[in-house]
């Protein structure tokens, strides 16, 4: 039987995504009771956490999450493994599959995750790649539901680089029935194939997708305003040049004023105050960034439970994850 993987947001169907979010809410609500005993679906199981990129929230949330579910996290810095000495991902996957029950990987190229998953007999989770950040998007959706009460019909406006976070917000948002409005500088828009896939998904879920170079157009009527760093990992050498290009896309008081009066502010962290987001907005009363960071823990616990114990939805809803990757 082929293991279910989570390499892109579209590896969950819309109903499976909703089921994972429901589980995340339940796990969050009963966290204190579970830590006191019970609620340990990963008892006797181990999860490999493989990092080829630096990490704070991803490492902590997965490591703590696996422990709270009763499992054993095996944290690996790829530079200290044979991956850094030329062992193939396929061989690594075959060996790890004999030792652990799931593999979580934070890496560069999406193709590395595809190679790992192709040879793995246990679930593989994308903890971030250059293409997508699907675990972040699950936590974002959980946060929006908490603060807005629903997902379908909400408008999320994203400002800045059309990067991995933007891609996952487009795909996961489309699955959830959000209207996703992305404003990026010319030449820095999300990948066209990802935008097309989000539009196709939206045809079934009622989601609407807008990609524009106009900040005010994206901000208009937004229930959620969101930004990310202008230079992602691996792009540090472009920090100064990008700052000049992206300055008009800063999430500041003017942008927030163009959104709905009760719009919430999100940032996936780490943040640079008065760069991609003004300090007043980041630290202001509408900011939910630390709720968002906390929800990485709960959403990822729910995801691991889903992948290892099967869908929390009736079997009639269909077979395993939808692998309609871009």
Which residues are catalytically annotated?
Answer: 106, 133, 136, 228, 268, 296
Token reading at 200: 């196709």
| Neighbouring C-alpha atoms within 13 Å toward the C-beta of 135 | 30
DSSP state of 197: H
DSSP states of 270-300: ---BTTTB-HHHHTSTTB-HHHHHHHHHHHH
Residue in 130, 107, 141 with CA at minimum distance from that of residue 298 = 141
Burial code of 77-87, b = ≥16 C-beta within 10 A, e = fewer?
ebeeeebeeee
Provide the edge-to-edge strand list for the sheet that holds 208-212.
208-212, 179-183, 155-159, 224-227, 264-267
In angstroms, what CA-CA distances link 226 with 54, 163, 229, 256?
23, 13, 11, 10
Residue in 126, 131, 179 with CA at minimum distance from that of residue 11 = 126
Residue with tokens 């692998």: 323
| Neighbouring C-alpha atoms within 13 Å toward the C-beta of 276 | 26
Token reading at 288: 């939910």
Q: How far apart are CA 4 and CA 124, in angstroms?
A: 8
């Amino acid at each position: 039987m082929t293991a279910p993987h989570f390499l892109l947001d579209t590896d969950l169907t819309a109903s499976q995504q909703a089921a994972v979010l429901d589980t995340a809410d339940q796990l969050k609500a009963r966290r204190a009771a579970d830590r006191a005993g019970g609620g340990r679906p990963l008892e006797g199981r181990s999860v490999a956490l493989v990092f080829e990129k630096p990490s704070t929230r991803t490492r902590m949330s997965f490591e703590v999450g696996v422990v709270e579910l009763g499992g054993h996290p095996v944290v690996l810095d790829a530079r200290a493994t044979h991956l850094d000495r030329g062992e193939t991902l396929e061989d690594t996957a075959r060996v790890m599959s004999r030792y652990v029950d799931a593999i979580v990987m934070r890496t560069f190229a999406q193709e590395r995750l595809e190679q790992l998953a192709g040879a793995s007999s246990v679930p593989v989770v994308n903890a971030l790649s250059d293409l997508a950040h699907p675990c972040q998007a699950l936590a974002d959706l959980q946060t929006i539901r908490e603060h807005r009460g629903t997902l379908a019909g909400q408008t999320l406006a994203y400002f800045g680089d059309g990067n991995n976070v933007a891609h996952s917000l487009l795909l996961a948002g489309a699955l959830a029935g959000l209207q996703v409005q992305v404003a990026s500088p010319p030449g820095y828009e999300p990948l066209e194939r990802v935008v097309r896939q989000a539009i196709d998904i939206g045809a079934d879920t009622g989601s609407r997708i807008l990609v524009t170079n106009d900040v005010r157009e994206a901000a208009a009527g937004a229930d959620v305003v969101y930004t990310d760093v202008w230079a992602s990992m691996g792009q540090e050498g472009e920090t100064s040049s990008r700052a000049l290009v992206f300055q008009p896309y800063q999430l500041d008081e003017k942008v927030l004023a163009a959104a709905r009066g009760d719009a919430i502010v999100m940032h996936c962290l780490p943040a640079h105050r008065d760069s991609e987001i003004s300090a007043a907005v980041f630290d202001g009363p509408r900011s939910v960034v630390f709720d968002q960071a906390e929800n990485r823990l709960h959403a990822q616990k729910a995801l691991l439970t889903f992948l290892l114990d099967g869908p929390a939805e009736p079997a009639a809803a269909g077979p395993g994850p939808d692998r309609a990757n871009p």
